[in-house]
Amino acid sequence: MRRLLLVTALVLSSPMPLAAQDSLPPAPYAYQQLDDPELEAKATDLMHTLRCLKCQSQSIADSDAPMAGDMRHQVRTRIAAGESPAEVRQWLVDRYGEYVSYQPRVTASTWPLFVAPLLVLLLAAFILRGRLVKRKEPGK
């Protein structure tokens, strides 16, 4: 109890707020939708597939972190300036790597993920064929 009091006293006597929160207002387009509904829909779809870097299991559309707001601002202003969603995604991937994108791409390290299900299907078809052919044999 005494320790708790001490910690509370220390926190209260700190010269600056201890919470890691900035005091600036959010970027203009962090919470403000674009006027054109079509562009806003494009931007929103994209924001749902971009990873928030501060809260790494959320998309920037889901997160209230100031940095996610700043990323939404970038997405909306770039879409409004005529960039395609693919270009905006690439702009972020060029800076943070594929990690920032929730949309998987076939690359040198991810191709087994795409090939494995096909192999399993082929294997299943092969085994199934073997069984069906065998079962027919006695009837011949």
Partner 1 sequence: MKRLRIFLWVLVAVVGGLFVLFGYQLTQPKDEFIQSAMVGEPLPDFDLRPAIDTMPGLSKADLADGKPRLVNIFASWCLPCRAEAPQLETLRAAGADIVGIAIRDRPEDVAMFLQLYGNPFTAIGADDISQVQLELGSSGVPETFVIDGNGVITYQHIGDIRPEHVQTILYQLREAGA
Binding positions for partner 1, rule: CB under 8 A: 15-24, 27-28, 53-54, 56, 66-67, 70-71, 73-74, 92-97, 99-100
Report the residue number, 18 or 132, with the smaller CB distance to partner 1: 18
Q: How far is the CB of 14 from partner 1 (least distance, A)?
A: 10
DSSP for the chain reads: -HHHHHHHHHHHH-SS--S----SPPPTTTSPPPSSHHHHHHHHHHHTTBB-SSSTTSBTTT---HHHHHHHHHHHHHHHTT--HHHHHHHHHHHH-GGGBSS----TTTHHHHHHHHHHHHHHHHHHHHHHHHHHGGG-
Q: How far is the CB of 53 from partner 1 (least distance, A)?
A: 4
Report the residue number, 39 or 67, with the smaller CB distance to partner 1: 67
Q: How far is the CB of 54 from partner 1 (least distance, A)?
A: 7
Report the residue number, 21 or 107, with the smaller CB distance to partner 1: 21
Report the residue number, 112 or 139, with the smaller CB distance to partner 1: 112
Q: How far is the CB of 84 from partner 1 (least distance, A)?
A: 19
